[in-house]
């Protein structure tokens, strides 16, 4: 006859497996083949999904901090039937290598994205970007202008920051910021609730998906370095990189451009949207009043519909 202790042990094992299964549940929404680009000593992960025999155009999806290509899982699923959908993980993020000794800065991320564009020989690209992905993606676009044809942006920036919220500044404080962001994962975990307008934060399995690649101190190096790379003054080297990107924005004013903004974003606030509109007065704009920074999570169906309409009306180009 089984002892009470044995049954208790079996129940504990079963409970542990149930928790593990729940933490892996996000994978059913990210069931894509992984591909890698060699960048010297590091490997950069990306998804390259297409079910169309003759895709209309490639959509290049560029994430920010502290997300990864998981952010674009719905866009990959929706648009890969007609387009070539490519979603990159920056070095240090997602399923890419996460080296400790690496130049985690905007200029490097732009160069890496250009390398991917060249390696895949992409043409007529639709740029899709969010958060830091806007600066990285537009930086690459301006260096490979002939390869791009249209732009879709969500809550982002591509200019020296007009303001830096206190909660972001706190993550930069010496020692405290590093321990908080890398040691306790405070930046990525906070985003699960603070970057969305969903009551209680993102659903647990979606939250697990966003957090999955950032499970150790070492694996959170890029999250902290992204925060450190936000320039507070002109003395910071990334300030000049952002300034050069902004100088190039006016030259894109006649391009097909769709701006989609979660208007409750406390980080890339509506002021950022207005700044883009100053450069691109002809751009299509969709303001989603109920959504926060994670607009793709707060209004997923609305975002898909807006993007789908934009693509149908502007591609093939």
User: Among 104-118, 167-181, 193-207, which is the least confidently predicted range?
Assistant: 167-181
Q: Give the tens place of pLDDT for each residue, 94-143.
A: 999 999 999 999 999 999 999 999 999 999 999 999 999 999 999 999 99
Length of the chain: 317
Instruction: Please check the confidence at residue 302 and state whether its pLDDT lies above 90.
Output: yes
What is the C-alpha to C-alpha distance for residues 28 and 206, in angstroms, rounded to an integer?
Answer: 11
In a domain, 5, yes or no: no
Q: What is the pLDDT of residue 20?
A: 44
Buried b (16+ CB within 10 A) or exposed e, 263-292: bbbebbbeebbebbeebbeebbebebeebb
Mean pLDDT of 301-312: 97
In a domain, 224, yes or no: no
Q: Give the tens place of pLDDT for each residue, 43-70.
A: 999 999 999 999 999 999 999 999 999 9
Q: Are 63 and 71 in contact (CB under 8 A)?
A: yes
Q: What average pLDDT is seen over the chain?
A: 92
What is the C-alpha to C-alpha distance for residues 308 and 265, in angstroms, rounded to an integer?
Answer: 23
Q: What is the pLDDT of residue 16?
A: 43
Number of folded domains that form the chain: 1
Q: What is the CATH number of the domain that holds 133?
A: 3.40.50.1820
In a domain, 49, yes or no: yes
Instruction: Please check the confidence at residue 207 and state whether its pLDDT lies above 90.
Output: yes
pTM more than 0.85: yes
What is the C-alpha to C-alpha distance for residues 113 and 129, in angstroms, rounded to an integer?
Answer: 12
Q: Give the tens place of pLDDT for each residue, 16-35.
A: 444 444 568 899 999 999 99
In a domain, 251, yes or no: yes
Cα→Cα distances 94→44, 71, 179, 238, Å: 9, 10, 21, 23
Mean pLDDT of 161-188: 87
> Edge-to-edge strand order for the sheet containing 284-288?
34-39, 42-49, 84-88, 58-62, 125-131, 148-156, 257-262, 284-288
Q: What is the pLDDT of residue 235?
A: 96
Mean pLDDT of 275-283: 98
Q: Give the tens place of pLDDT for each residue, 210-265.
A: 999 999 999 999 999 999 999 999 999 999 999 999 999 999 999 999 999 999 99
In a domain, 271, yes or no: yes
In a domain, 174, yes or no: no
Helices marked H in the chain — which ranges?
4-23, 73-79, 106-120, 132-143, 166-170, 176-178, 186-194, 204-211, 221-228, 237-249, 270-279, 295-298, 300-314
> Which residues constitute the domain of residue 147?
33-161+237-314
In a domain, 214, yes or no: no
In a domain, 193, yes or no: no
What is the C-alpha to C-alpha distance for residues 56 and 267, in angstroms, rounded to an integer?
Answer: 34
What is the C-alpha to C-alpha distance for residues 221 and 204, in angstroms, rounded to an integer?
Answer: 24
């Amino acid at each position: 006859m089984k002892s009470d202790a044995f049954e208790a042990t079996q129940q504990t094992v079963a409970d542990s497996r149930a928790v593990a299964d729940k933490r892996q549940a996000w994978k059913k929404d990210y069931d894509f083949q992984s591909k890698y680009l060699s960048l010297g000593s590091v490997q950069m992960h990306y998804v390259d999904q297409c079910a169309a025999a003759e895709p209309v155009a490639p959509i290049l999806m560029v994430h920010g901090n502290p997300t990864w290509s998981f952010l674009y899982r719905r866009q990959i699923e929706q648009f890969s039937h007609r387009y070539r959908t490519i979603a990159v993980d920056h070095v240090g993020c997602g399923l890419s290598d996460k080296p400790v000794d690496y130049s985690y800065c905007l200029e490097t991320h732009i160069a890496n994205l250009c390398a991917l564009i060249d390696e895949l020989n992409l043409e007529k690209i639709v740029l899709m970007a969010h958060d830091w992905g806007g600066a990285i993606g537009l930086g690459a676009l301006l260096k490979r202008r002939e390869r791009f044809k249209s732009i879709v942006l969500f809550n982002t920036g591509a200019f020296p920051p007009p303001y830096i919220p206190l909660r972001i500044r706190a993550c930069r404080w010496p020692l405290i910021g590093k321990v908080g962001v890398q040691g306790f994962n405070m930046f990525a975990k906070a985003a699960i609730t603070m970057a969305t307008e969903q009551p209680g934060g993102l659903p647990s399995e979606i939250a697990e998906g966003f957090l999955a690649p950032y499970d150790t101190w070492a694996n959170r190096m890029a999250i902290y370095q992204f925060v450190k790379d936000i320039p507070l003054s002109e003395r910071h080297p990334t300030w000049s990189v952002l300034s050069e990107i902004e100088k190039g924005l006016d030259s894109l004013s006649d391009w097909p451009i769709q701006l989609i903004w979660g208007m409750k974003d406390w980080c890339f606030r509506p002021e950022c949207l207005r700044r883009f509109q100053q450069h691109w007065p002809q751009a299509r704009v969709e303001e989603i009043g109920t959504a926060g920074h994670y607009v793709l999570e707060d209004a997923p169906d609305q975002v898909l519909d807006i993007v789908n309409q934009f693509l149908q009306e502007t591609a093939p180009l």
